[in-house]
Chains A and B, each alone.
Chain A
């Protein structure tokens, strides 16, 4: 365990996204468009041991801070992640992701007969609040649980 901890370096400035369920790691990478970061380092730790969660994943992004809107996208796939803003090796701010009222163009509707799955168009969902863990499709009105939702390609 000691050795695994050492795998993940401390960063001087940037963002740490911790406690990502390992099964959701790649979706988080996609949502934040980490593949497009060219100028600074991104450290991705996959399947690390965690006292609380068994196995988890984490991402450290050097020299980059995300907007709240970008981070809130994570609520759809990984609502319980921990976000730390690091400045000068210190955690200056801890954030929680907040489910946006409206989720646009992020996830697909699970209803195959929904217009959004048959027409080149943006999906839109309305959130049913933090506790309920469901979204309702703006178009076909089907309520669906967050767990089953797939990201738009």
Chain B
């Protein structure tokens, strides 16, 4: 059964919990030969080393072989080949396609024309569902549940694709969001409307300090980029406001964990790395288990197949 993963927005609560459970199985035993004989294609029409490495590691640790390209400059799309042709051609070679594209909606279109399942590894500003799955897995792992959590989103909430997807995926789990951002990068109205329509509670802040942090179960940091500002005076004013320092964590709850989609630049001071609340590197590692689960699910393997797997490498 072909099972493309294009967007997180239409996954049911059950499906999200199922994939989290499957990721747990892979965390127990990440090395297997369950995909021996399979070929996974990674088509990166836009470079993203981190995401590609994570997918390729997941495939390799499950025994699959990997083909693909990391730079569209070397492919026929520069000669004017359509995406459809590329996808059908690669679909003839590989059992599953992992695709990153700079255009919005590219992944959905690819999944419609491909003869094999397609996993969206990011399509423009639109969707990046595997990032959201690893975020959800990290939240579940650190909190023991996805239900009734206080999730603080900090930084660039206007352009941040990851925070938008996380918000939509969490709608099933009765969260309370805190949006902490400068005015210019505040959460767009359409997502606040989404929250109201889905009964998601949210509070907005412009300040970022230890009192606000003290309520959080999850502190999700994002990068505030200079090029996002139309008013550079405003950038200069706020650039240091949304920087997390170890001293700001004194009132934090014990269970609170700091997430960040990485790469980090300066929004988390290096002295936070040693703090027990820091979790962003483990979060990136969780991406491996989440992607192992997503690849297997896309290829039609069930959680029972994974539990009864006899190919585990200890």
Q: Which residues of A contact B (CB under 8 A)?
A: 111, 113-116, 118-121, 137-143
Contacts and interface: CB of A to CB of B under 8 A. Distances in A.
B103 interface: yes
Contacts of A116: 105, 109
Given A113-B124, A115-B83, A121 B109 contact: yes
Contacts of A114: 103-105
Nearest to A137: B105
Contact of B108 (A111, A139, A142, A143): A139
A47 B161 CA distance: 47
B82 interface: yes
A118 B110 CA distance: 13
- Pick the 10 closest A-B CB pairs, nearest first: A139-B105, A140-B104, A140-B105, A115-B105, A115-B106, A115-B103, A115-B109, A113-B104, A114-B104, A114-B105
A141 B8 CA distance: 13
B274 to A, nearest CB: 41
B84 interface: yes
A131 to B, nearest CB: 15
B126 A140 contact: yes
B104 A111 contact: yes
B104 A139 contact: yes
A115 B83 CA distance: 9
Given A116-B109, A121-B84, A139-B106, 18 more contacts: A111-B104, A113-B104, A114-B103, A115-B104, A115-B106, A115-B109, A115-B123, A118-B103, A119-B82, A121-B109, A138-B108, A139-B104, A139-B109, A140-B104, A140-B126, A141-B7, A141-B9, A141-B105
Main SS class of interface, A = loop
Contact of A113 (B84, B125, B190): B125
A58 to B, nearest CB: 38
Interface in B70-114: 82-84, 101-106, 108-109
A152 B106 CA distance: 19
A111 B102 CA distance: 13
Nearest to B127: A141
A119 B109 contact: yes
6 contacts: A115-B83, A115-B106, A115-B109, A119-B103, A120-B82, A141-B126
Contacts of A121: 84, 109
Contacts of A111: 104
Contacts of A138: 105, 108
B104, B106, B109, B124, most chain A CB atoms within 10 A: B104
Nearest to B125: A113
A140 B105 CA distance: 4
Given A119-B82, A120-B82, A141-B126, A113 B109 contact: no
Contacts of B108: 115, 138-139
Interface string B108-146: 110000000000000111100000000000000000000
A116 B83 CA distance: 11
A60 to B, nearest CB: 40
Contacts of B83: 115, 119
Nearest to A139: B105
A56 to B, nearest CB: 35
Nearest to B190: A143
Contacts of B109: 115-116, 119, 121, 139
B141 to A, nearest CB: 29
B164 to A, nearest CB: 11
A68 to B, nearest CB: 27
Nearest to B83: A119
B101 to A, nearest CB: 8
A142 B126 CA distance: 9
B159 to A, nearest CB: 13
Contacts of B126: 140-141
A102 to B, nearest CB: 14
A139 B230 CA distance: 29
